Structure 1
Amino acid sequence: MKRARLIYNPTAGKEGIERQLPRILQRLEEKGLETSCHATRHPGDASHAAAEAVKRGFDIVIAAGGDGTIHEVVNGLAPFSSRPQLGIIPSGTSNDLARALHLPRDMVAACEVIGEGRACPMDVGRVQNHYFINVAAAGFLTEVTHQTPSRLKTVLGQFAYYAKGLEKLGTLLRPFRVRLESPQKIVEDEIYLIIVANSPSIGGFDQLAAQADIGDGLLDVLVVRKASLPELVHLVGSVLKGEHLDDERVLYFQTDRLEVISDKPMKLNLDGEWGGDLAGRFETLAGHLSVLCPAENQAPSGKWKKLRHRRGEH
Structure 2
Amino acid sequence: MRAVLVVNPKATTTSERSRDVLVRALRSEVDLSVRYTRRRGHATDLAREAAEEGVDVVVTLGGDGTVNEVVNGLMTAEPPTFRTDGTPAERLPALATVPGGSTNVFARALGLPREWPEGTSMILEGLRLGRSRTIGLGRADDRYFTFCAGFGVDAAVIHRVEQARKRGRVSTPALYFRATLSQYFLDSDRRHPAISLERPGEPAEGELATVIIQNCAPWTYLGEREINPNPEASFDLGLDVLALRQLRVASTTRTVTQFLSREPDPHGKQVLRLHDAPEFTLVSARPQAFQLDGDYLGERKKVRFTSIPAALRVIC
Indicate the larger mover: 138-147 or 155-164.
155-164
Shift, 1:186, TM fit? 3.0
Distance 1:252 1:184 in 2: 17
| 1:267 equivalent in structure 2 | 289
- Counterpart residue type for residue 31 of structure 2: E
Match of 2:140 among 99, 122, 127: 127
| 2:106 equivalent in structure 1 | 97
| 2:59 equivalent in structure 1 | 62
SS in 1 for 2:266: helix
Matches within 5 A, 1:181-196: 181-183=198-200, 185-196=202-213
Match of 1:208 among 229, 241, 245: 229
- The answer to whether structure 1 residue 234 and structure 2 residue 250 are counterparts is no
| 1:35 equivalent in structure 2 | 32
Alignment RMSD: 2.2
Shift, 1:42, TM fit? 1.4
Distance 1:243 1:85 in 2: 33
Matches within 5 A, 1:44-55: 44-55=41-52
5+ residue gaps in structure 1? 294-314
Matches within 5 A, 1:73-222: 73-80=70-77, 82-115=91-124, 116-117=126-127, 118-148=131-161, 149-150=164-165, 155-175=170-190, 176-183=193-200, 185-204=202-221, 205-216=226-237, 218-222=238-242
Alignment check: 8 A CA contact 2:52 2:77 kept: no
SS in 1 for 2:170: helix
Alignment check: 8 A CA contact 1:173 1:192 kept: no
**Structure 1 segments of 4+ aligned residues over 4 angstroms from their partners:** 151-154
Alignment check: 8 A CA contact 1:197 1:221 kept: yes
Indicate the larger mover: 107-116 or 40-49.
107-116
| 2:273 equivalent in structure 1 | 252
Residues 181, 141 of structure 1: alpha-carbon distance in 2 compared, 3 angstrom cutoff:
same
Distance 1:234 1:153 in 2: 33
1:82-134, Cα deviation, whole Å (9 max, x unpaired) = 42100000121221111211101231322233222311011111121111111
Indicate the larger mover: 113-122 or 155-164.
155-164
Alignment check: 8 A CA contact 1:12 1:154 kept: no
- Counterpart residue type for residue 106 of structure 1: E
Distance 2:37 2:194 in 1: 38
Distance 2:314 2:172 in 1: 26
SS in 1 for 2:106: helix
Distance 1:180 1:167 in 2: 26
Tell me the TM-score normalised to structure 2 length.
Answer: 0.83
Shift, 1:164, TM fit? 2.2
- Counterpart residue type for residue 144 of structure 1: V
Tell me the TM-score normalised to structure 1 length.
Answer: 0.84
Alignment check: 8 A CA contact 1:178 1:261 kept: yes
5+ residue gaps in structure 2? 79-90
| 2:244 equivalent in structure 1 | 224
Residues 233, 206 of structure 1: alpha-carbon distance in 2 compared, 3 angstrom cutoff:
closer
Aligned length: 289
Alignment check: 8 A CA contact 1:140 1:172 kept: no
SS in 1 for 2:231: coil
